[in-house]
Every structure is written in structure tokens, then in C-alpha cells.
Amino acid sequence: MELADGRLGHEADAAVHLDRGVCDRVTAEDRTNESDVAPGVPAPRATAFRSTRSVPSGILRRLASVGSEERAFVTYMDLRNVLIEIHTALDEQGVDHVLIGGLALTAHGAARATIDLAFLADGDRDSDVDALMRSHGYECLHRTENVGNYLSQDRARGRVDFLFVRRFYGRAMLQRAATHAILGQQVRVADAADLIGLKVQASSSDPKRRGRDMVNIERLLSSPGVDLDRVRVYFRLFERESELDALLAGEPKR
């Protein structure tokens, strides 16, 4: 099952992983390790802010509570400038896209200590996205009809990932997105229920993610106006509705 396509879209044994700069389509042939990078490609370190001056105060507070290794990630990617550059370029090319992944959580009050740059984009424009990213100096790590992963040799420019959508449920996610101010830039962001659905999908296909993703899901459930009916549909699709009931009842996460 896939939320971006499949029953919601494509073949049932595929899994689209979003988070930590990852939106690879992983099958039995190309699943490699927990970092979910393309086969043979070394996993990049988590992308985050190059300077704490651009980090929202909520994320800074969370950084104060994490270990020194995770806190060190903020010295790497100049996330604000990369967001502006890539978002502006996509807009100029008329590519329909919305922000997903870790940075999107900040729009819904669910900030994480480390965040990544990932977009949901119109699958009919995947070749245009590929040409655009290469023209901006990015190397393609991995590309299929469903995903594109791009990395710059300049650590300040970091990694940018795309999940391409073509069918009803994925295109509906594009349509439902709303504009939010992210790092001073107006960007369309996937809504909270759809971000939850993508996390339910990712943690269903990789149980090692479940603890972390359920924490993020719990935060997203507190977002104002979150569509609980749609959230329930997503949990039901992956036969995990009882976990949603437990979250809503305030029961401890397992």
C-alpha cells in the first residue's frame, strides 16, 4: 500500500519513506539499511540549519534537550537559502509542489530537533524536476518514477528529496496543501492529516521507525483543525486503527 499512489496507488510491496531527508521507494531489492538511501550510496548525515540564527525558537528549545551529536547537525545545511532557491525555481517552472518531511512539521507546531528538505511534486513533471536540480548543481543519487533524491557536494546545500505523485490520493494531497511561513518564506505545506498518513505508511513498512514516527504523529494530532476522519482512514488502510484509538485516548505508546 502507498499513500502517495497505490491503493492509494502502486504495488503493495512498495514503501515510500519520508523523513530525515528520505523519500525513496523501497522494495525488497533496494532496501539497504535504516537510512534508506539508494543502493551503494553512503548515507548523508541528517540535514538541518547551517546557522542557529535562522532556527525557529521552538526548535532551539528542543535542541537544548538532545545529545551533542544530534545538536551538531545544525552546523551543516543552509536550509533557509536552499528552501528559497529550490521552491522559487519550482514555482518559476510551474511545477506543482508542497513541502513534506521534517521541515513541514514545523508549520503544524510539531517541530523536531533535526529536519530535512523534501517535497511532494507532480509526477508528470519528474523529468523537469530532475533537469532543474541538476542545473542547480545537484547530483542525482536515486531516481524512479516515484522518487528523486539529490545531493550537492557543497554541504551547505545538502540533500533535497522529491516524492512524485500521479494518482488520486497523492494529487489530493497537493490540492489540500496550504501556504505557511517557513523560515521567512511563503511555501505550500502538506496538511497535518496527510503528513500523519505518510508517517503511518513509513512506519508500517519499517517497524524500527515506529517509535519516532508515533511521537511525531501524536504531535500532529494536536494541530488545530486536523482532519481526524482522514487520519482514521490512513490508520485503517494499514490495519493500525487500534493504535490511533489508543493515541486519542491518551494511552501510553507501545
What pLDDT score was predicted for residue 26?
32
Higher pLDDT, 74 or 102: 102
What CATH number is given to the structural domain containing 58? 3.30.460
SS3 content of the chain, % helix, strand, coil (to 5): 40, 15, 40
Give the cell for residue 61: 528549545
7 within some domain:
no
pLDDT tens-digit readout, 167-223: 988 999 999 999 999 998 999 999 999 999 999 998 998 989 899 899 999 999 999
Please state the φ and ψ torsions of residue 212, each to the nearest 5 degrees.
Answer: -65, -45
Tell me if 247 sits within 8 A of 217, measured CB to CB.
yes
What pLDDT score was predicted for residue 47?
40
Domain of residue 58, residue span: 15-190
Give the cell for residue 74: 545544525
What pLDDT score was predicted for residue 29?
31
- Which residues have C-beta within 8 Å of that of residue 224, sequence separation ≥ 6? none
56 within some domain:
yes
The stretches of 39-163 forming alpha helices (DSSP H) are 57-63, 68-71, 79-92, 101-106, 126-135
121: which strand partners?
Answer: 97, 164
Higher pLDDT, 219 or 42: 219
What pLDDT score was predicted for residue 1?
52
